[in-house]
Structure 1
């Protein structure tokens, strides 16, 4: 069975993150309130797995806002150097 070409980006994204404290940067929902977490390439180039280019989004924010599967508006800012992200919004105070 061929390896999923997206797996290296997933591994890189989660390498130094604690998935148990995850909150979606798009909607602010915690891990236990989302259907799944997908690693998105901010510049839309799936082979650019620079850590600054990767962001973990809940399935709804990733598919709705980033790939025009349901809505057309983008919810996210362009890539920025790692460690300079603003605080993650809470579920009661979404960031958009």
Structure 2
């Protein structure tokens, strides 16, 4: 018996150009994501109808669709911005 998930992957990529891939969830290109996972929109992993399949980056798939929070190795935690009041300078006087 064939692996149904592999059949779904093969079907999804059969008419798509992987080099121009952008995640439909976050818009990142292929070289900016850790991986691409096939998501079954109806959450039935054996329903490989092409209209049911969507290729999401690992982060969007695991966090957005399945609630399994996983932080990408490529993503850095945000750093806090300087919250001190700006000081006037000769080039940019304060008002």
The corresponding residue for 1:50 is 49
Please give the alpha-carbon distance, in whole angstroms, between the structure 2 residues aligned to 1:24 and 1:57.
5
Q: Aligned-pair RMSD on alpha carbons?
A: 1.6
- The whole-number CA distance in structure 1 between the counterparts of 2:8 and 2:38 is 7
CA deviation vs aligned residue, 1:42-66 (integer Å, no higher than 9, x gap):
0100011000000000000000011
Larger RCO of the pair (alpha carbons < 8 Å, separation 6+): 1
TM-score computed with the length of structure 1 as normaliser: 0.68
The match for 2:17 is 18
Specify the alignment match of 2:5 in structure 1: 6
Residues in 2 aligned to 1:4 and 1:49: alpha-carbon distance in whole angstroms: 12
Structure 2 gap segments, 5+ residues each? 71-95
Structure 1 residues without counterparts, runs of 5 or longer: 72-96
Runs of 4+ in structure 1 displaced over 6 angstroms? none
TM-score, normalised by the number of residues in structure 2: 0.69
